Structure 1
C-alpha cells in the first residue's frame, strides 16, 4: 500500500506533552512557538483521498479515475519535490547534479565522458555545461548500457544515476524513426517531481540529437500529453498511473519500445506501484534492453529483476545506507519545554535546512511559528497542490526560504543540492524513512549533517532506529536554546534565540525605516503637487476676477481666507 502521512497526533515542535507545566508553555510562547498538541488534519482513512482530490488532475472520467488518484499519490511521496518538487525547473536539482563534477573525490579518476563511447554531440554539450569527469556509477554503467546489455544499478539518490541510464538511452535511439503514439524508449519514475527532473536533466542532450521527449504524469494536462504522442514522441518519462490511463484510452502503445528503464524501483515498491509497473512492462516487447535502478534490492525488486532483466550487468556504487553512514549523525536529547526553542535556533542557522515532522498540520504550524520567530520558513506536504509545491520548492532553491518544514510523504520529492543539514523534529517511522530523510543532504559528493531531536522517553526508540539503519550517531544533552554547548553549536550552526530575535528585530527596523523613507518621499511629492494645484487655483481665480472687472488680488485673498 502507498505510504501516507501519519494522521495520529504526534510530537512536533508544538509537542504532544499534555503534562508539560504552565511555565513550559510560557517558555515556548516567549519565542513564538507554542507547545500545543498537534491534531492531524486528516482522517484515519489516510491522505490518499485528500491527495487524489487536490492533485489538479482534470481528466478523471472512466477507468482513469482510480489510477489517476494513485498517480496523484505518486507526486507527493518523492522527493520531491512534492521533489520540483515541482523542482523540475531547478538548474541545481538532483538530476541536474548527476552531471555535475563538484567533487573530485566522487569522480572516476582519469576518465572523461569522451572516453565512454558517447556521441560527440553529447560530449560537446556536457563540456559546454562544465561536465567533464563522470561519477563512478556513470563510468561503470554507460559503456555496458551502450553495448545494449541489461543493467541492474544500485546507487543512492544523487550518485549520478540519471545520466547513467539517460545518456545511453539517447545515444541508442538517435537517428531512428518514431511512429505516432509509439515511443521507442520509456523511463518510469515513482513521482511526478522525479519525472520532471529526469526530463529536465536529459532534455538538453536529447535536443542535440534531435530526439523528442515528453513527461507523462498526473497533475498536468492529459490532453497536452495525448496531443504530443499523436505528433510522435521518442522518449516518455512517465509515472505508472498516468501512462496506464493514456494507454487505456488508446493514445499510446508500447509495442515499439526498445529500451525500458525503471528508476527508483525501491520507491515504486514502497508506494505499492509495482503491480502497475509489471502491467506496463508486460506490454513492452521481449528482446529489448531493460535497465533497473534502485537504492535497495529487497524481495519485490529481486522479483522484478528475475522477471524482466536478462543476464543483467550489476553495478553498485554508493548504496543508500553507505551514503548515510558517511554523513555525520547526531541526537540532541532535549526537554519538552526546550524542543521548540531548540528547533527555532537550529532553523535559524545559515544555509539550507530541511526539518521533518510527521503530520501536515504540524508542518504548517511549525513553519508559521518559525516565521514568527524571525526564520524564513515554509511548509511542504502532500496536502498542497502541485502549483503550491512547485512555488515552495522554487523559493527554497532560490534562497527566499532557508528552512523547509516537510513531511515524510514529501521527503522523496525534494531533490535540491546545497542542503547541508537535515533536522528530524519528529522521529522517522522506521529506518527506511530515516534513510530517505537523510538522503536529502550529502548529495553529489557533498558532506551533510543529520540531527535528530529526542525527548527523554524517545531516546531508546531513536537509537534503535539508527541501529537498524546502520548509523553510528553521537548523543548530546541540550539544556536550552539560550546558550548551546560550543560543540553542539558547531555541529548544528544553531544561533541563540536572542540572536535570532535580534536579527528579526533588526530586519523589522530596517523594513520600518524603508517604509518611513518611502512615506516621506510620498509626502514630499504630495506637498509639491498640492502647491502646484494651489498656484493653478489662484491663477484661475484671478483670471475669473479680471473677467468680471474685479480686483484679482482681492479675489485670491478672499478664497484663501475661506480655505
Structure 2
C-alpha cells in the first residue's frame, strides 16, 4: 500500500506495516477539552491563550494519548511540538524518575530546536510537576550530568550529546517509556542515524514511539520499519514550500550588484532572515551590513551556544532586525511576524528550500520567500524548485529599482556604521563572493603600473634608509 503523502508503507521484515488513521477522518476537535487532556494542561493552555488545536494536534492527540505509535507529518510551524509534547507529558505525569534514568525522551537535530521544544513544553511540565532537562552540545556537559543525576522525567536531546552522556554512564535509557523523534529526516541528513538507532535500541522495547517531521523519506523509512510498531499515519498539511499563504520569488541579479541588492533588502522595515551556504559567507555579509547601518547578526555552528541563544533572543525581541544564517536556522526556528526569508545563496537541495521557506508563513500567517540568482544559476535553481513543487515569480532586478522595493520592501540603508570604524564604500563592479570562497585578489594599481604591494615595499625600504641615515648621523 502506498500512502499519498509518501510516508513509509508495506510490511517490514519482522513487523507489520504502518496503519492509516481510520477513514473517514473525524472533524477536528472544537477545543482541547474534547481530547481528554488533564485539567492542569487545559488550564495552562487557557492561561497561554491557546484556544483550539491545530489540525496536526487534533488528528494525532487521540492516538498518542492512547499510547499508539504515531507517524505524523505536518507543515513546519503547524504545531507538531504540542502534538507530541502534550501526550508525552500527560502519559508521564505521576511518575518519578530515578537519578540518571529519564522516563521520556525527545530527540531533535539542533540545539536551537532542543531549546525551543523545552521552552514550549516547560509550562505544561511544570503544571504536571515534571522535571525537564535539555541535553545539547556547546553547553556545559558537567551541568547536564548534574541535572540528570538529580533526576529528570523528560529529556530533550541532540543525538551527539546524548551519545556522549550514555558513553560516560551519566544517562541510562532503559526506563524510557515514550520516545519522540522530531525532524527525523534532518537528523539522518546530518549523519545522526547511527546515534538515533542506538538510542532507540536502548529504550524500553514495549514503549511508545512517535515520529514527527515535515517530510518523511529516505533513511526515515529505515527507522520506521525497525523501531515503530504498527504506527498510525497522519498527514494533515502540505509540505512547507507549498503553503497557500506563501509567495515565492526568484530575483535575477547582476553579479556586481548582488551586495547592493542584498543590503537594500536587509535595510527594509521589519525582520528578515538571510540564508547563505557557509560560515565565512555569513560572517562576511554580517560585517558588511553592520558597516552600512543595518542591525544584523550572524548565526552558524561556529558560534558558541550562549552566542547563538543571545542572537536568537535579540532577533525575536526586535533588537536585531536581520538574521544572517547558515542552514542551522532552517529548522526549529520560530519567530512571530517573520514575513520574509531570502536565499542569498540559492539552495541546491529542494528539502533545504522547503525548510528555509518554512521559517515564514507559520501558523497560517502570510510570508514571502525570495531567492537571489545570477544568470548562470537560473537553470539549476529552476530544476531545484520544480523538484520542490514551487512555481516562483521570476523578476530581473537592480538595486534601487521600484520592483525590488515592491517585492521585498527594500530601501537604502542609513550608511551609519553600527560598530567602530567608518563604513567602506563597495565599488559597484566588485563581486566579492558570499559563499566563503576566499577573498578576491587585490587588483588595485599604483601610479606607473606598479602594484600596491610593490609601492608598500618601496616605502618600507625608504623608511629603513632614513632610519640608517639618522643612526649614523
Task: Report the TM-score, using the length of structure 2 for normalisation.
Answer: 0.79
Q: Which residues of 2 match residues 233-382 of structure 1 at below 5 A?
A: 233-321=152-240, 323-324=242-243, 326-382=245-301
2:401 is matched with which residue: 467, 476, 483?
Answer: 483
Distance 1:299 1:110 in 2: 33
- Measure how far apart 1:130 and its partner are: 0.7
Name structure 1 gaps, 5 residues minimum. Answer: 1-107, 509-563
Aligned to 2:348: 429
1:448 is matched with which residue: 336, 349, 367?
Answer: 367
Runs of 4+ in structure 1 deviating by more than 6 angstroms, as ranges, are 505-508
Taking structure 1 as reference, are residues 387 and 369 closer, same or farther at Cα in structure 2, changes over 3 Å only? same
- Measure how far apart 1:202 and its partner are: 0.7
Matched, 1:127 2:43: no
- Measure how far apart 1:506 and its partner are: 13
Aligned to 1:172: 91
Bigger proportion of residues as helix: 1
Distance 2:29 2:154 in 1: 32
Larger mean Cα displacement after TM superposition, 258-267 or 333-342? 333-342
Taking structure 1 as reference, are residues 109 and 281 closer, same or farther at Cα in structure 2, changes over 3 Å only? closer
CA contact (8 A) 1:325 1:471 kept: no
- Measure how far apart 1:201 and its partner are: 0.8
Distance 1:405 1:336 in 2: 20
CA contact (8 A) 1:156 1:323 kept: no
Taking structure 1 as reference, are residues 349 and 218 closer, same or farther at Cα in structure 2, changes over 3 Å only? same
**3-state SS in 1 of match to 2:345:** coil
Distance 2:203 2:237 in 1: 30
Taking structure 1 as reference, are residues 237 and 409 closer, same or farther at Cα in structure 2, changes over 3 Å only? closer
Distance 1:505 1:205 in 2: 45
Aligned to 1:215: 134
Matched, 1:458 2:377: yes
Name structure 2 gaps, 5 residues minimum. Answer: 1-26, 420-473
Aligned to 2:335: 416
Task: Report the TM-score, using the length of structure 1 for normalisation.
Answer: 0.67
1:281-333 C-alpha deviation (Å, 9 max, x unpaired)? 10112111111112212131111111111111111122434545652111111
- Measure how far apart 1:148 and its partner are: 0.8
- Measure how far apart 1:178 and its partner are: 2.3
Taking structure 1 as reference, are residues 252 and 383 closer, same or farther at Cα in structure 2, changes over 3 Å only? closer
CA contact (8 A) 2:105 2:176 kept: yes
Distance 1:321 1:285 in 2: 33
- Measure how far apart 1:174 and its partner are: 1.0
1:193 is matched with which residue: 91, 109, 112?
Answer: 112
CA contact (8 A) 1:145 1:165 kept: yes
**3-state SS in 2 of match to 1:379:** strand
Matched, 1:226 2:142: no
Larger mean Cα displacement after TM superposition, 316-325 or 348-357? 316-325
CA contact (8 A) 1:137 1:160 kept: yes
- Measure how far apart 1:409 and its partner are: 3.9
1:145-179 C-alpha deviation (Å, 9 max, x unpaired)? 11111100111321100100111111111112322
Matched, 1:146 2:65: yes
1:394 is matched with which residue: 307, 313, 317?
Answer: 313
**3-state SS in 1 of match to 2:364:** coil
- Measure how far apart 1:444 and its partner are: 1.7
User: Relative contact order, CA 8 A, sep 6+: which one is greater?
Assistant: 1
Aligned to 1:27: none
- Measure how far apart 1:441 and its partner are: 1.1
Distance 2:331 2:418 in 1: 34
Aligned residues: 393
**3-state SS in 1 of match to 2:209:** strand
Distance 2:286 2:55 in 1: 38
